[in-house]
């Protein structure tokens, strides 16, 4: 269960934050950050590795010292160094790092010079004008900090879908192990595959209510039991995610599932429709007067309203009820529809596995093709490829394809779009590839007009077949850049370029509403993993979730086509 990995990663993150505020050596800080990343991306359970006596220093970025710390954290739940640092500096100080504009240096100075520890205290200090006097701050900075902290305080905490998913999977498995527990479903925004989740809403049916609640509050990741009653309980997990559990009567399971899956807007619209028909819908069933006419299954709830079952990803009150009434619900894309992946990296740049390893993993997932698309030379940190290395990789791919069975590796590149919209490699280097992905990795700050022009120019390049992560956003970290998406789509359509839906949990970019726009504009979407190691192919499921939220069907997705059709599509351009 990878949850333990996340807990260890959280300790390392906190260590890095605290060391950064103390002004420690950057290499030491980065070592902890890298180790945290390794653990977050690890598919096996590090606790189990220890039990099996495996050598943790085999893991990327983990040396003897870090291996010792992991051991200590897994066995004791914390580590001595962290406890010491927490004694030296109060717990809340690290939260200040989450406020945009507050780096370790500023946080250190706020803490040392003003004894400020919490966001609320920062806000008060800013409003009192105490911050401007600190060396390196000034009045303008003070105003900026004031508004950033205010925004931070008013923002509810949300979790990325993939992170919530790790907790949800582990919790569901834990609940299912209890005797007497029958059904376990996670409803809410998680079931709708929203890119972020506020809390988990778990629905359970069980023969013995008590045992189910016991099992729930006994989940190893529970930090605090917030409330607990005969048929429901709420807990907060380590890491902060809240989980509400409700025990349901089997006969109203469908109604409750429907109700707690939401969204609220969908439910409101559904209730309105029910009222028009003289019916009442709530979490206990569908009623005509006092008579219950449906509710044991979700299908029965929708059927009572003369609707077909509506997939959870569509339940956002974005026209799905009208579509359902008209018999025009889309037949949504499914994970199993994907025939290949069009975006992946290897050890040639910043990936962690070889062509052979990546291809074997893709094949094991049932994919029939995989494009290797490394970064281009501008991405120096990632060892981006120049013309010569790209050619050499192409030869390696030819050799691979000559001997490989069951999967075809495509030659690609993820080439940077430069500031002026030209590409980071010459056309002659791109012309021989199967696939060219163009990507913005810089100058996110350009004006809407400039950013749009820049991307349109890149799409004019006859070699480009796919536009990577079209808005550039990183969920919770970086807003989308400002771009006229409709213009981009129309150019993409004209140039027969596909838009990427990058399934990396931090990106999920194309955004759902843009997926729908692409469909309306007749632009194909490619759902890609952007895998940097074999475990990351699993992220495709989140990309498919986002695509479903964007109403995409199999025919709207480029890599749902078999290899031959895909090659025809790429060649036609």
Smallest distance from the beta carbon of 154 to ligand DGT, in angstroms?
15
With CB cut-offs between 5 and 8 Å by kind, which of ligand DGT, Ca ion, none does residue 117 bind?
none
Smallest distance from the beta carbon of 184 to ligand DGT, in angstroms?
16
With CB cut-offs between 5 and 8 Å by kind, which of Ca ion, ligand DGT, none does residue 211 bind?
none
Smallest distance from the beta carbon of 321 to ligand DGT, in angstroms?
14
Distances 115 to 85, 104, 106 between C-alpha atoms, Å: 16, 15, 12
CA-CA distance, 529 to 198, in Å (whole number)?
24
Contact 61, 30 (CB under 8 A): no
Q: Which of 173, 268 has the CB closer to ligand DGT?
A: 268
Residue 155 sits at φ, ψ, to 5 deg, of: -85, 130
User: Tokens 């390392």 identify what position?
Assistant: 12
Residue 62's SS3 state is: coil
Query: DSSP string covering 457-523, please?
Result: HHHHSTT--EE-STT--BTTTBPPPP--HHHHHHHHHHHTPEEEEE--TTT-BS-HHHHHHHHHHT-
Beta bridge partners, 286, equal: 281, 294
Our measurement of the distance from residue 465's CA atom to the centroid of its chain's CA atoms, rounded to an integer in Å, reads 25
CB atoms within 10 A of CB 291: 8
CA-CA distance, 529 to 544, in Å (whole number)?
10
What residues line the site for ligand DGT (CB under 6 A)?
A: 188-189, 194, 197-199, 201, 259-260, 262-264, 267-268
Q: Which of 452, 546 has the CB closer to ligand DGT?
A: 546
Smallest distance from the beta carbon of 536 to Ca ion, in angstroms?
26
What residues line the site for Ca ion (CB under 5 A)?
A: 188-189, 199, 201, 244
CA-CA distance, 63 to 282, in Å (whole number)?
56
**Side-chain half-sphere of 484: how many Cα atoms within 13 Å?**
12
Q: Which of 104, 312 has the CB closer to ligand DGT?
A: 312
With CB cut-offs between 5 and 8 Å by kind, which of ligand DGT, Ca ion, none does residue 262 bind?
ligand DGT
Smallest distance from the beta carbon of 231 to ligand DGT, in angstroms?
16
Smallest distance from the beta carbon of 14 to ligand DGT, in angstroms?
25
Structure tokens at 540: 């495709």
With CB cut-offs between 5 and 8 Å by kind, which of Ca ion, ligand DGT, none does residue 272 bind?
none
Q: Which of 17, 244 has the CB closer to Ca ion?
A: 244
Smallest distance from the beta carbon of 268 to Ca ion, in angstroms?
16
Smallest distance from the beta carbon of 224 to Ca ion, in angstroms?
16
The torsion defined by the Cα of 84, 89, 92 and 98, in degrees rounded to 10, comes to -100
18 upstream amide cis, omega within 30 of 0: no
Smallest distance from the beta carbon of 269 to ligand DGT, in angstroms?
10
With CB cut-offs between 5 and 8 Å by kind, which of ligand DGT, Ca ion, none does residue 267 bind?
ligand DGT
Distances 445 to 184, 336, 418, 424 between C-alpha atoms, Å: 45, 38, 14, 19
Distances 482 to 212, 238, 504 between C-alpha atoms, Å: 49, 36, 21
With CB cut-offs between 5 and 8 Å by kind, which of Ca ion, ligand DGT, none does residue 260 bind?
ligand DGT
Smallest distance from the beta carbon of 402 to Ca ion, in angstroms?
51
Residue 271 sits at φ, ψ, to 5 deg, of: -65, -40
Alpha helix ranges (H) inside 43-137: 46-51, 64-76, 80-88, 104-114, 119-127
Q: Which residue is nearest to Ca ion (CB)?
A: 188
CA-CA distance, 478 to 481, in Å (whole number)?
9
Three-class DSSP labels, 319-344: CHHHHHHCCCCCCECCHHHCCEECCE
Smallest distance from the beta carbon of 22 to ligand DGT, in angstroms?
35
Q: Which of 109, 282 has the CB closer to ligand DGT?
A: 282
With CB cut-offs between 5 and 8 Å by kind, which of Ca ion, ligand DGT, none does residue 268 bind?
ligand DGT
Q: Which of 13, 199 has the CB closer to ligand DGT?
A: 199
With CB cut-offs between 5 and 8 Å by kind, which of ligand DGT, Ca ion, none does residue 4 bind?
none
User: Tokens 């820049």 identify what position?
Assistant: 454
Q: Which of 194, 514 has the CB closer to ligand DGT?
A: 194
CA-CA distance, 546 to 549, in Å (whole number)?
5
Q: Which of 161, 362 has the CB closer to ligand DGT?
A: 161
Three-class DSSP labels, 391-402: HHHHHHHHHHHH
Q: Which residue is nearest to ligand DGT (CB)?
A: 262
Q: Which of 265, 431 has the CB closer to ligand DGT?
A: 265
Q: Which of 32, 259 has the CB closer to ligand DGT?
A: 259
Q: Which of 282, 442 has the CB closer to ligand DGT?
A: 282
Smallest distance from the beta carbon of 260 to ligand DGT, in angstroms?
4
Distances 256 to 192, 212, 228 between C-alpha atoms, Å: 15, 18, 19
Q: Which of 112, 264 has the CB closer to ligand DGT?
A: 264
């Amino acid at each position: 269960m990878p949850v333990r990995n996340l807990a260890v990663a959280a300790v390392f993150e906190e260590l890095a934050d605290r060391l950064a505020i103390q002004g420690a050596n950057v290499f030491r800080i980065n070592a902890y950050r890298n180790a945290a990343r390794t653990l977050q991306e690890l598919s096996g359970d590090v606790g189990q590795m220890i039990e099996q006596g495996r050598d943790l220093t085999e893991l990327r970025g983990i040396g003897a010292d870090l291996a010792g710390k992991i051991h200590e954290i897994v066995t004791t739940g914390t580590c001595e160094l962290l406890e010491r640092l927490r004694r030296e500096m109060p717990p809340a100080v690290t939260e200040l790092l989450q406020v945009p504009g507050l780096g370790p240096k500023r946080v250190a100075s706020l803490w040392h010079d003003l004894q400020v520890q919490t966001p609320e205290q920062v806000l008060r200090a800013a409003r009192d004008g105490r911050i401007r006097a600190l060396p390196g701050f000034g009045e303008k900075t003070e105003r900026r900090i004031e508004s950033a902290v205010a925004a931070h305080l008013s923002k509810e905490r949300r979790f990325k879908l993939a992170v919530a998913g790790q907790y949800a999977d582990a919790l569901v498995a834990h609940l299912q192990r209890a005797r007497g527990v029958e059904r376990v479903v996670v409803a809410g925004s998680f079931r709708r595959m929203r890119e972020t989740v506020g809390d988990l809403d778990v629905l359970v049916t069980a023969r013995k209510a008590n045992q189910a609640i016991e099992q729930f509050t006994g989940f190893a990741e529970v930090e605090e039991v917030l409330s607990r009653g005969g048929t429901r309980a709420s807990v907060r997990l380590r890491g902060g995610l809240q989980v509400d559990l409700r025990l349901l009567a089997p006969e109203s399971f469908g109604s409750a599932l429907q109700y707690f899956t939401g969204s609220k807007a969908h439910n409101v619209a559904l209730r309105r429709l029910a009222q028009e028909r003289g019916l009442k819908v709530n979490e206990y069933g569908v009623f005509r007067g006092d008579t219950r006419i449906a509710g044991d299954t979700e299908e029965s709830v929708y059927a009572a309203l003369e609707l077909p079952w509506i997939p959870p990803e569509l339940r956002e009150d974005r026209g799905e009820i009208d579509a359902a009434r008209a018999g025009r619900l889309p037949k949504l894309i499914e994970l199993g529809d994907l025939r290949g992946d069009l975006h992946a990296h290897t050890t040639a740049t910043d990936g962690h596995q070889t062509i052979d390893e990546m291809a074997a993993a893709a094949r094991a997932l049932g994919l029939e093709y995989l494009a290797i698309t490394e970064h281009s030379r501008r991405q120096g940190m990632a060892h981006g490829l120049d013309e010569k290395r790209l050619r050499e990789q192409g030869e390696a791919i030819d050799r691979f394809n000559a001997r490989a069975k069951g999967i075809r590796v495509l030659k690609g590149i993820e080439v940077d779009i430069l500031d002026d919209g030209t590409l980071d490699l010459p056309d002659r280097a791109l012309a021989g590839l199967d696939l060219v992905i163009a990507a913005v990795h810089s100058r996110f700050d350009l004006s809407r007009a400039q950013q749009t022009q820049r991307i349109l120019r890149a799409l004019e390049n006859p070699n480009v077949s796919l536009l990577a992560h079209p808005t550039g956003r990183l969920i919770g970290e970086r807003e989308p850049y400002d771009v006229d998406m409709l213009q981009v789509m129309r150019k993409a359509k004209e140039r027969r370029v596909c838009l990427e839906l990058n399934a990396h949990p931090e990106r999920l970019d194309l955004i759902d509403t843009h997926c729908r726009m692409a469909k309306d504009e007749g632009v194909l979407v490619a759902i890609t993993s952007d895998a940097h190691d074999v475990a990351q192919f699993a992220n495709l499921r989140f990309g498919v979730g986002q695509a479903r939220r964007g109403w995409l069907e199999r025919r709207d997705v480029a890599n749902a086509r078999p290899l031959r059709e895909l090659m025809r599509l790429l060649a036609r351009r």
